[in-house]
Chains A and B, each alone.
Chain A
Amino acid sequence: MTKRDLVEKLAERVKNLSQKDAEMIVNTIFESMTEALAAGDRIEIRGLGSFLVKQRRAREGRNPRSGDKVFVAQKKVPFFKVGKELKERVDK
């Protein structure tokens, strides 16, 4: 399912919701989630799960092709932890 499919299904299911408004809402939701994570905020959506940003330390890595040592700077990575309800539903 793509974002487009999600928009279509949402417009089908919510009474009097146009495709255009559904698209604007879906975009607003994921944009505000991106902004929250960019600000280092944690997102908790009950029933779905939580999104958080993890800090990765700087490390010495290797170029897998040449074997050369390379410095990998510290960085932040987005992380999703599945909620209990969804975890159980998927495994059913």
Chain B
Amino acid sequence: MTKAEIVEQIYEKVGFSRRESSDIVETMLEIMKESLAEGEKIKISGFGNFVVRAKRERVGRNPHTGQEIKISARKVITFKASQILKTAVNRGHAG
């Protein structure tokens, strides 16, 4: 599934034009990205939570050469699927 298919779903199910649907999807994604960029988590009930976590600096290793390298402190996004999504994925259908 791609962004274009999500736009198509809105066009079919909600009845907005393809152009409007596309603008709305882009805007929603932008709102989500802005929120995460600010370090704020997103909780979508029924789907899952996106959380920004701060990772401390650590020493890693190049798996090829075995050489130690410093991995700088960084922020990463983790996604935790809701119980509803986990169940749907195992049952093979939603709802």
Contacts and interface: CB of A to CB of B under 8 A. Distances in A.
B28 interface: yes
Interface residues of A, number: 51
B37 interface: yes
Contacts of B92: 38-40
Contacts of A91: 74-76
A78 B9 contact: no
Interface in A5-31: 6, 9-10, 13-14, 17, 21-22, 24-26, 28-31
Interface of B: 1-3, 5-6, 9-10, 13-14, 16, 21, 23-25, 27-29, 31-33, 35-37, 39-48, 50, 52, 74-79, 81, 84-86, 88-95
A36 B37 CA distance: 27
A61 to B, nearest CB: 17
Contacts, number: 143
A36 B78 CA distance: 20
Which 6 interchain pairs have the tightest Cβ spacing? A80-B79, A78-B81, A36-B1, A38-B88, A43-B1, A35-B94
A48 B9 CA distance: 19
Contact of B48 (A22, A28, A44, A78): A78
